[in-house]
Amino acid sequence: MPVTGLYVVQEPGTIASTISSINDKITRQFPKVLGKWSIEYKLFRENPEISTPGRQGSQAHIDQYQQQPQSKARFLSQLHLSTHDDDVFNLIDEPMSYSAARAGIKSDKKVLAVFDKGMDSIIGAKLQSMWLLRQSMRAEGHVFAIGDSFLVRTANVTQNGTFKFLIIEVEYLASDDLDASKEIIAGFITKCGFPQGRLFFGDSLDIYREPAEDPKKFGKIAHCLQYMEFFRMRPSG
Amino acid sequence: MASLQQFSLYAAFAPSKLQHILSILSAVTGMRPISLLQQHILFSPSISGHGSSTSVVTGGAAVSVAPLESSRIDVSRDLPQNLDEKENAKPPEWTLTIPTIPESGKRPVQVQAISKTKFRPSEEIDQNVDNISTLFRFLRALDYVYAYDYLERGYIFVYNGIATIKISQISPQLPLQLHEIPMGGDGDQVASTVARGRDPDNAKFVNTWVVHAYVEIVTGPETVGDDSEKVKIAIERLESLKAEIGGLFELEIPDRALLDPRVQMRR
């Protein structure tokens, strides 16, 4: 798929109506309105009441080998993007392995797995005693086509109906090579004159990949990682 | 939220009757049997509670907490059945299924809610890699570990448009021997080894065939049609099937406790 960049505006003073001024700026470029899009994000935390090897229960075990306590709660993020209609992206922190703990390696690798919509109710209902829902965010907005090479998606992100920040996704249709397109996307955002914000390209997340995976080509996993990178760096996980 | 309900009846028969039953079912359904070969790997939560209290003190009053319970996950895929399929093997499609304990009640058929999801291999990777380690690492991170596995073979018929008749035999697989478990594995590798290493051609299948006749319907506010009407039709179809093949084998409701997928966690 074509590459994207995620631009997040959450400076103080950003309010729910800031999006209209951004949409106005986009309108000045004579875009074609293509319709609506939406995202849904849920964050789950492991239930501290129960323990497993790899959770706190084995901590004593690990500490025998390594004289430093380190219990870090693990999280599971679930993301649904309307762009990838029936896919549910699940990013989960891997438990610390015995071998890594013994060797003193601090691993914070994550695994990203894609399932169909059925996964939503499996985590939310069937596994609810193991994974507790901590946060739920939604966004809905419009998609604009600017010229032949850019798609811009804007939306307000809300948590329980309260405005939190706004996101702009820029899709550059002419390339599927992320590294080569970063500057073009950043340049486009400057040209549009959007308010102060931060760009996410999703390349800082350390996720487990299949050995044969070619990281060069941009696909839905890389697309989803841009959102995960942003949501996961927020203080609550 | 939409939910999948399965209405079922079961029966069992000895292998000597198989050919007879297959030909009668072909006549009743008007179709040739579709053959089935599947691998099922069961995952169980690797969980034990910590702390011994079963009640939480809130404002001076002890409130008992609902037991932490969770279900096994059945991870299954279709296996290639002949040489042609083996040579042109596509990456397998893994399906995760979590059934709930069948409903109790006076319905003439068994009712069970089922959650299902399909694992989606990433399109960015080589088509020959089946993403199996990603799936098993994910399950491991969810705190699920390999419990046991079996192979299932059999035949499928479709009756009256919506009822599926599955006739199958299972082959429980022996746990891996110590020398077969890869070194340095963190749990997910046992499942990977099992997934790749089972051989259906030389598997020993148990000496009983099980008939599972079922209708699956999707209920809930977002779905098409009237829920009670769908339930009525599902039950009617199963009962008419039961009447039609009454002499061949007796379709019945099994003991619901046998189909309980739950795993109790200790606190």
Q: Is the CB of B202 inside 8 Å of chain A's CB atoms?
A: no
- In the prediction, which pLDDT does A219 show? 82
Enclosing H/E stretch for B111: strand B110-120
Chain B residues close to A87, C-beta within 8 Å: 120
Searching chain A, which residue's CA lies closest to the CA of residue B94? Answer: A115
- Return the half-sphere exposure (C-beta side, CA atoms, 13 A cut-off) of residue B73: 27
- In the prediction, which pLDDT does B130 show? 59
Name the CATH superfamily housing domain B2-259: Hypothetical Protein Pfu-838710-001 (2.40.320.10)
CA B143 to chain A, closest CA, distance in angstroms equals: 7
Residue B196, strand partner residues: none
Question: Do B164 and B215 touch, CB atoms closer than 8 A?
Answer: yes
Q: Is the CB of B62 inside 8 Å of chain A's CB atoms?
A: no
What is the average pLDDT value for chain B, to the nearest integer? 82
Q: What are phi and psi of B143, to 5 degrees?
A: 75, 35
Q: Is the CB of B115 inside 8 Å of chain A's CB atoms?
A: yes
- In the prediction, which pLDDT does B63 show? 43
CA B219 to chain A, closest CA, distance in angstroms equals: 14
Residue position matching structure tokens 């995952």: B43
- ipTM for the complex? 0.84
- In the prediction, which pLDDT does A56 show? 47
- In the prediction, which pLDDT does B68 show? 63
Best residue in A84, A88, A127 for a mutation probing chain B (most B CBs within 10 Å): A127
Count of positions (residues) in chain A: 237
Q: pLDDT digit string (tens) for A96-105?
A: 765 566 666 6
Q: Is the CB of B47 inside 8 Å of chain A's CB atoms?
A: yes
Question: Do A106 and A116 touch, CB atoms closer than 8 A?
Answer: no
Searching chain B, which residue's CA lies closest to the CA of residue A123? Answer: B142
- In the prediction, which pLDDT does B163 show? 93
- Mean pLDDT in order along chain A per 10 residues (237 residues): 90 86 88 92 86 49 45 86 90 75 66 90 86 92 92 93 91 87 91 89 76 67 89 67
Interchain pair B117, A214: CB under 8 A? no
A 10 A CB-CB count for A154 gives 24
Distance CA A100, CA A58 (A): 13
Distance CA B20, CA B12 (A): 14
At residue B226, does pLDDT exceed 90? Answer: no
Pick from B46, B98, B141: CB nearest A53: B46
CA B17 to chain A, closest CA, distance in angstroms equals: 38
Higher pLDDT, B241 or A48: B241
Pick from B118, B124, B126: CB nearest A221: B124
What is the token pair recorded at B208? 């009983």
**What letter represents residue A157's amino acid?**
V
What is the token pair recorded at B179? 């020398």
Please tell me whether residue A151 adopts helix, strand or coil conformation. strand
Question: Do A136 and A160 touch, CB atoms closer than 8 A?
Answer: yes
What is the token pair recorded at A113? 């797995």
Q: What is the mean pLDDT of residues B246-258?
A: 87
Interchain pair B124, A76: CB under 8 A? no
Chain B residues close to A57, C-beta within 8 Å: 48, 50
Domain ranges of chain B: 2-259
Question: Which residues, including other chains, have CB under 8 Å from residue B177's CB and lie 6 or more apart?
Answer: none
Q: pLDDT digit string (tens) for B28-63?
A: 999 999 999 999 999 988 765 443 334 444 444 444
Q: Is the CB of B181 inside 8 Å of chain A's CB atoms?
A: no
- In the prediction, which pLDDT does B71 show? 85
Interchain pair A127, B70: CB under 8 A? yes
* Among the listed residues B156, B89, B138, B113, the one whose alpha carbon sits nearest the alpha carbon of residue B6: B113
- Whole-number Cα distances in Å, B242 to B7, B118, B159, B216, B245: 13, 31, 11, 17, 6
- In the prediction, which pLDDT does B184 show? 56
Q: pLDDT digit string (tens) for B166-206?
A: 999 999 988 877 777 766 555 567 777 888 778 888 888 99
Interchain pair A130, B143: CB under 8 A? yes
- In the prediction, which pLDDT does A237 show? 43
Q: Is the CB of B93 inside 8 Å of chain A's CB atoms?
A: no
Searching chain A, which residue's CA lies closest to the CA of residue B1? Answer: A121
What is the token pair recorded at A51? 């323990």
Supply the pTM of this predicted model: 0.84
Q: pLDDT digit string (tens) for B100-113?
A: 888 888 889 999 99
Axis crossing angle, helix B132-141 with helix B188-197, rounded to the nearest 10:
140
Q: Is the CB of B182 inside 8 Å of chain A's CB atoms?
A: no
Higher pLDDT, B87 or B20: B20
Question: Do B156 and B36 touch, CB atoms closer than 8 A?
Answer: yes
- In the prediction, which pLDDT does B238 show? 93
Q: pLDDT digit string (tens) for A113-160?
A: 999 988 988 888 888 888 899 999 999 999 999 988 999 999 999 998
Interchain pair A131, B98: CB under 8 A? no
